[in-house]
């Protein structure tokens, strides 16, 4: 399958390891990974902060970069960006776009997936050949759980990882407090939410807290690093990308 990889602006710039793992994993599974070089950002931050005119060029650019019919599916290591493409792009296009944009958005939306959806639903694989001999707890991000409804797909992928010690996270479905610009505009409430999330993570005594969104992991990892917790964060793609021949080397740093 020819898969268009959307790195997301955050992943491309600040968390490239999660994107590398995604690219390598899909190639290792025998798929043709293409990276349209003109890609930038899905515009989620703009829309969620209340700006819908400003991201029109971003929505248009996304549709143009991935609209190519030779791309069978578009994948991104982020549920919230996939949610933006699937739920918000049409709102922006409907309100401030033209007929061409609306058509382009509809085409791309139909083939856009978050990583676990692509693996389990489209490629029909849960055993990806991963090896990760560490204690791991999984935080289901809000947009993966309640916007995309990925359900237990990420957990099915994790359960199939060799040598993994997967422990359940109490009150897993509670938000970590990130929420994009919410973490800045309401940083104290966001921090109160984060404290409870960290309390539950610490209780699992996991080496790693994983999730499908680098943004939420930036919040959780930032908090864990600040309190010098023994747990660090790692994107789901990096665990799935760790193999016996090229295992992920766990370091002390929380971030």
205 to 234, contacts with other proteins by CB under 8 A? 218-219, 221-223, 225-226
CB closer to other proteins out of 165 and 188: 188
- The Cα–Cα gap between 232 and 164 comes to 15
CB atoms within 10 A of CB 216: 28
Q: According to the binding rule CB under 8 A, does residue 82 interact with other proteins? A: no
Is residue 214 a contact partner of residue 15, using CB atoms and an 8 Å limit?
yes
Nearer to other proteins, 52 or 112 (CB): 52
Closest approach of Cβ 20 to other proteins, in Å?
Answer: 6
Q: What angle do CA 56, 57, 58 make, to 5 degrees?
A: 90
- Give the integer Cα–Cα distance in Å for 173 and 166: 16
| Span 26-65, contacts to other proteins by CB under 8 A | 27-33, 35, 37-41, 43, 45-52, 54-55, 57-58, 61
Q: Does 183 bind other proteins (CB under 8 A)?
A: yes
Select the span of 98-106, 107-115, 151-159, 192-200 touching other proteins (CB under 8 A).
Answer: 192-200
Q: Tell me the C-alpha distance between 158 and 181, whole Å.
A: 30
Would you say 103 or 255 has its CB closer to other proteins? 255
Is 94 one of the binding residues for other proteins (CB under 8 A)? Answer: no
Contact range with other proteins by CB under 8 A, out of 104-112, 162-170, 180-188, 200-208: 180-188
Note whether 17 binds other proteins by CB under 8 A. yes
Strands (DSSP E) along the chain, which ranges?
Answer: 2-5, 32-34, 73-76, 112-114, 135-138, 165-167, 208-211, 232-235
Residue 133 or 180 having the CB closest to other proteins: 180
Can residue 154 be called a binding residue for other proteins (CB under 8 A)? no
- SS3 for 153-179, per residue? HHHHHHHCCECCEEECCCCCCCCCCCC
Among 63, 118, 161, 193, binds other proteins (CB under 8 A): 193
H helix count then E strand count, the chain? 14, 8
- Identify the residue among 3, 7, 63, 155 touching other proteins (CB under 8 A): 7
Q: How many CB atoms within 10 Å of residue 64?
A: 16
**Cα(170)–Cα(198) distance, rounded to whole angstroms?**
11
Contact 99, 107 (CB under 8 A): no
Q: Build a one-symbol-per-residue string for 110-149: x at contacts with other proteins by CB under 8 A, - elsewhere.
A: -------------xxx-x-x------------xx-xxx--
Q: Which stretch binds other proteins (CB under 8 A): 67-75, 161-169, 171-179, 201-209?
A: 171-179
Shortest CB 211 distance to other proteins, Å: 14
Q: Which stretch binds other proteins (CB under 8 A): 67-75, 105-113, 130-138, 189-197?
A: 189-197
């Amino acid at each position: 399958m020819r898969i268009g990889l959307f790195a997301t602006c955050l992943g491309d710039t600040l968390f490239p390891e999660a994107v590398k793992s995604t690219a390598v994993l899909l190639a290792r599974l025998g798929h043709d990974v293409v990276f349209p070089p003109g890609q930038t950002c899905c515009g989620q931050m703009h829309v969620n902060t209340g700006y819908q005119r400003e991201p029109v060029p971003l929505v248009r650019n996304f549709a143009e970069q991935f609209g190519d019919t030779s791309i069978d599916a578009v994948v991104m290591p982020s549920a919230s960006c996939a949610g933006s493409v699937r739920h918000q792009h049409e709102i922006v296009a409907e309100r401030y776009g033209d007929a061409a944009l609306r058509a382009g958005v509809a085409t791309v939306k139909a083939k856009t997936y978050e990583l676990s959806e692509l693996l389990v639903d489209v490629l029909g694989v849960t055993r990806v050949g991963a090896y990760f001999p560490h204690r791991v707890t999984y935080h289901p991000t809000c947009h993966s759980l309640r916007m995309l409804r990925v359900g237990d797909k990420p957990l099915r992928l994790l359960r199939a990882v060799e040598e993994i010690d997967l422990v359940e996270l109490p009150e897993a479905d509670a938000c970590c407090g990130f929420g994009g610009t919410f973490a800045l505009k309401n940083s104290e409430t966001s921090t109160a939410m984060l404290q409870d999330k960290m309390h539950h993570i610490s209780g699992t005594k996991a080496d790693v807290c994983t999730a499908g969104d680098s943004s939420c992991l930036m919040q959780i990892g930032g908090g864990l690093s600040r309190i010098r917790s023994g747990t660090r964060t790692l994107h789901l793609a990096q665990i799935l990308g760790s193999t016996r021949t090229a295992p992920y080397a766990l370091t002390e740093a929380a971030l």
